[in-house]
Every structure is written in C-alpha cells, then in structure tokens.
Amino acid sequence: MRGSNRPRRFFKFITSIICLIVVAYSLQMFSLFRKTSSDLFDIENQSLEEILDEAKEIKIQRKIFSFRKHYYVSVDNVVVGEVRGRFFTPFGDKLELLDSKGNVIKSEYQIKRLGPTYGNLFNISLDRLAEVSDSNGNVTGYIGEEKLSDFWKLNRRQYFYDETGRKIGSGKQKFFMFCKDYTITNSKGDKVYDIDGNIFSLTSKFNITKVNNENIDEEDVIFYTIIENSILDNKSKESSSNNSKNK
C-alpha cells in the first residue's frame, strides 16, 4: 500500500512545482507590465538609445522561466526593452538588446578562450572578451578581462574598450566572492555607474544608477551586468556540484 502512494506523491510534488512557477511568472508579468507609459519619456516616439541616455536609473530583471538568457529592461517602471540570448552560437554566447518593438539595437558576442581579439589576431587567451556591435553589425566596443594584471586582486574586474581597443573604463565587484554589487569607473578612476543586485529575490534583479555616463554607453553597462551575473551563476553551479561530489 505504501508503494502505491509513491506515484501519487510524486504527481502532487510535480503539480505543486508547476503551480509555483505559474504563480511566480504571473506575478512577475503583472509587476513588469502594469505600467505602460511614463512622464519622463515617450516610448512610441523615442528610440531606446535616447530613453536610456536620458534615464537616471535603469532596472534589469531576469525572466523567471526561460530556457535561455532573457532579461527585461525598465526605466521608470516601464519595460522599454529586452535582452535575449541566442541559441546555438558556434564559438560563444550571444546577447541581443531589443527595443519595445522587437528591433535589435545592440548585440554582444562573447569570445571564449580562443578567438579574434580587438587587435584582429587569432590567438589563445585566458581572458574573456565580448565584442559589442550596433544594429548594422559595426563594432562599437569591447568588454573584457585582464587576468594577468589582476591576478592578485580579490574583486573581479572587467574593462570597457572603445572600437579601437582603447581602454575607457572598468567595472568591479564592490566586495568579493558572490557579491552582486558593482562599481563602474572611467579611465581616470571616477565613478560613473553604481550597480546594485538584489540577492533576496526569486530572480536576478539589478538597479543601474547613473552618476555620469561620459563615454561608457548604457547598453554596454547592461551587457556587463548580465555577463557578470552569468559568471556568478556558473560559479554557484560549480560550487554546488563540487559539494555534492564530496558528500
């Protein structure tokens, strides 16, 4: 008799999980899309670049249930765009920033350990490097690591480069390990963005506060935040996997 209850208990468990996902997804959609207009901008007549450039604060939130990277971008609690990951890219991850009409505004292509760098050379590198392009495919900049020079630094760091490879700024964790808060500075060391991650949430949420954007684009900061979140997610999964193996 006890054995006959196992399928029923398993079915109840699976049903409960599905119900929780549906409720969480519904609550997220309601909170994101309950407001459709703002006094700060005109979503119908302004481009996403203009809206982001004028914004003092940008929020990004990961979609609760998705098989790929999928984030919503909000300004003044209005969803103005999305970032979606592409499936089946041959050499690395690819992210696309879309406006509210579904047009690709910018894309980011993650170059892994092997690939062309901003010097147009094909070489082996320990550094991650992301190439950022506009809607026409023109390279506008790069986001990458410098592991050798940062070897002894506790905080994870990435750097922002313009289309020629000139370093224009950097981003680092405010603390170390699994911190989701970041500071972005320009080439002079002045703070230009503050990024605060909400760790007490069902999904990944970040508030990007603009101090002085100067020559680091808001779109690149959004990509940087998602790249950092993906790296932390991977580290967390690796840590959990290693703990399970050691038990």
Q: What is the pLDDT of residues 38-80, one digit of tens each?
A: 889 999 999 999 999 999 999 999 988 777 789 999 999 999 9
Provide the token pair at 217: 């684009």
Whether residue 123 is predicted with pLDDT greater than 70 in this model: the reply is no
Q: What is the pLDDT of residue 243?
A: 54
Tell how far CA 175 is from the center of its chain: 18
Collapse the DSSP code of 7 into the 3-class scheme (helix H, G, I; strand E, B; otherwise coil) and give the result: helix
Look at strands 129-134 and 104-111 and give their pairing: antiparallel
Backbone angles phi, psi at 78, to 5 degrees: -115, 130
Spans of all domains in the chain: 35-246
For the ranges 114-123, 162-171, 191-200, 206-215, the one whose mean pLDDT is highest: 162-171
* Model pLDDT for residues 156-200, shown as the tens digit of each residue: 889 999 999 899 999 998 876 667 899 999 999 999 999 998 877
Give 35-246's CATH code, choosing from 2.20.25.10, 2.130.10.10, 2.40.160.200, 3.40.640.10: 2.40.160.200
**Amino acid identity, position 77:** N
CA dihedral 110, 112, 115, 119 (to 10 degrees): 60
Whether residue 227 is predicted with pLDDT greater than 70 in this model: the reply is yes
Distance CA 10, CA 7 (A): 5
**Amino acid identity, position 148:** L
